[in-house]
Amino acid sequence: MSKIARLVLRWTSCLCAVGQVVHTWPEGPPVCGVTTLDDEVVLVRPGGHDQVEVYDVITYRLRRRLTVPNLRAFNDMATCKHYRSVYISDHFIDCVHRLGSKGAATQWPVRDKPGGISVNKAHQVIVVCPFVRKIKEFSTHGELLRELTLADDFIHPWHAIQLTSGQFIVCHGGIGDAINRVCTISANGRKTVRAHGGHRGSGTGQYSEPRHLAVDDNECVFVVDLYNRRVTLLSPKLDFVRHIVSRDKLNWWPLRLHLDVQRRRLYVADNEYEDGEFTAGRVVVFSV
């Protein structure tokens, strides 16, 4: 296959993504994170014990519940197939919890309040610290490998995913911030290569708190747009493709998402928000 044909195929796979609901979890406590590892779906919910729920990826039946010692508050979660580990960011005690392959739980300090979390191709853990505009990279055992400070106009960066090129996709901006965008930034975190969005709003090219990201093998980007209650699909160059999940497919507010690239399933955490806190939640699964 020629290089041009491969590029056309990659772009076509991006354009043909259509979000159809294939499963919905029953309503329960808020869902603070959702991810997959091998043949399992992993959810994290607030509560005293059994905060982590593990389901079969095909039948969606509950397999087991896990308790993470010292887990106080949830922000996000991610998995690493290489180390067979689950990572959970905890903004109450400013740390990351790690669940290993045999169920052993450890934690390491972030030394700033952690937000979104992801794992790069080198199996390192990428943690965004939104209130100090930093991206921190850790080893699987919590060794700080490097720390990037973002430019001053990156107010409230929520989540970052590192691309194979070394660049990062970052979403930033809250409901009280004028600028809400998704950006590709340089590997050192200082230069904005391209961006989608701008002034906060509800138009096609606008966001109202872009809170979480997923990237597929073609580097198409899925963006949770929290207060617009939708998920937007962007091309690898951050051109608008379509709203892949619209508000009519959600009951509440989409807070987190996870893309199972192998099965082409998009998991969206849909949460009720009342009186300043999330009070209930569920996960909606879409085919993409």
pTM higher than the cut 0.85: yes
Domains of the chain are 29-287 (2.120.10.30)
| Residue 273: burial class (beta carbons within 10 Å; 0-12, 13-18, 19+) | middle
CB 276, CB 262: distance < 8 Å: no
Q: How far apart are CA 57 and CA 24, in angstroms?
A: 13
CB 184, CB 164: distance < 8 Å: no
DSSP string, 14-32: HHT---EEEEEPPPBS---
- Listed in sequence order, the DSSP H helices in the chain are 3-15
| pLDDT tens per residue across all 288 residues of the chain | 444 344 444 444 444 445 799 999 999 999 989 999 999 999 998 765 568 999 999 999 999 998 888 878 888 999 999 999 999 999 999 999 999 876 688 999 999 999 999 999 999 999 999 999 999 999 999 999 999 999 999 999 999 999 999 999 999 999 899 999 999 999 999 899 999 999 999 999 999 999 999 999 999 999 999 999 999 999 999 999 999 999 999 999 999 999 999 999 999 999 998 887 888 999 999 999
Q: How far apart are CA 265 and CA 170, in angstroms?
A: 22
Tokens of 41: 């779906």
| Residue 100: burial class (beta carbons within 10 Å; 0-12, 13-18, 19+) | middle
